[in-house]
Amino acid sequence: MKPTTNWKSIGLLLVLIFGISFFIMAQDELGVYEHLDEYLSDDLIFTDELYNKVNLKESIDKPTVISLVYYECPGICSPLLNGFAEAMDKTNIELGKDYQAYTISFSHTEKPPLARKKKKTYQKLVSHGNTEDSWKFFTGDSTTINKLLDQVGFKVKKEGKEYIHPGTLIVISPKGKITRYLYGSTYFLPFDLKMAVVEAADEKSGPTINKMLKYCFSYDPEGKKYVLNFTKISGTIIVAAAIILLSTLIFRGRRKIKSQ
């Protein structure tokens, strides 16, 4: 009797692998999907806190750090902007001279008066640089907002009056190229900010060092903090183990056939 590979076991393993992989991908629907080296389009028109219409790409003439938030966010947006302001204040590069900052609301219901109010709050946290002219707070219509979110790979989900969303800074070069993503919710290293700006000035993109942290942690909207994603981690481990077992079964089956 010829030995045969246990195809029934292999079939069950394949179903397990594909099922868990699909579940993990579904968990990843929200978050940031990096579009490094891609360029912003030239049709993104937003309104700043003074009601000025601004073409985003045309206004970028130096490294620009974009923070995507919504101004009435009860979760990570305020800590993120606090952390961003703290990093700006501690770094030795100068806002307005070396780079500029754009904070953009992804809620189309928010308008310039609210943007202006938020700007006054956060610019007080930066003691050097031109925060009035070089840290702009924008609002926009839903079509333009969604186009920008798609271009930078920033995925959000609205639940009731609030949004579930990631926390990150996106660095754009003077030519409108996406060069770096800086992840965080309460703190950003001033050195990381400086290096991202310096590299963007040279049109150089940089890898995200803490991608693994982003993969392992998810934002908890109820607790208003990042938590370890046990489902995603355990699912990944199970898939890896299943792949190893599948490879072992196939290898043993082929080795038995060759030995006959």
Query: Which residues are paired to 39 by β-bridges?
Result: 177
Task: Please give the residue that has the higher pLDDT: either 184 or 10.
Answer: 184
pLDDT at 129 over 80: yes
Task: Tell me, rounded to whole angstroms, the distance of Cα 235 from its chain centroid.
Answer: 22
Q: Which of 28-37, 70-79, 206-215 comes out lowest in average pLDDT?
A: 206-215
Mean pLDDT of 231-256: 60
Q: Where are the beta strands (DSSP E) in 42-107?
A: 45-47, 53-55, 64-69, 100-105
Q: How much is the pLDDT for 186?
A: 82
For residue 5, pLDDT beyond 80: no
CB of 203 closer than 8 Å to CB of 175: yes
**What is the Cα–Cα distance from 144 to 147, expressed in whole angstroms?**
5
Burial profile 226-251: b = 16 or more Cβ within 10 angstroms, e = fewer:
beebeebeebbeebeebeeebeebee
Task: Quickly state the pLDDT bin for 224 (edges 50, 70, 90).
Answer: very low
**Residue 182 pLDDT exceeds 80:** yes
- Segment 138-152 mean pLDDT: 97
Return the higher-pLDDT residue of 23 and 41: 41
Q: What is the pLDDT at residue 232?
A: 54
Q: How confident is the model at residue 206 (pLDDT cuts 50, 70, 90)?
A: confident
pLDDT tier at 174 (50, 70, 90 boundaries)?
very high
Q: Tell me phi and psi for residue 39, to 5 degrees.
A: -110, 145
* Range scoring the smallest mean pLDDT among 24-38, 63-77, 108-122, 162-176: 24-38
pLDDT of residue 118: 97
User: What are the Cα distances from residue 89, in Å, to 2, 92, 94, 190?
Assistant: 74, 8, 9, 8
- Tell me the average pLDDT of the chain: 82
Helix axes 7-27, 230-259, angle to 10 degrees: 160
Given a cut of 80, is residue 86 above it in pLDDT?
Answer: yes
Given a cut of 80, whether residue 104 has pLDDT beyond it is yes
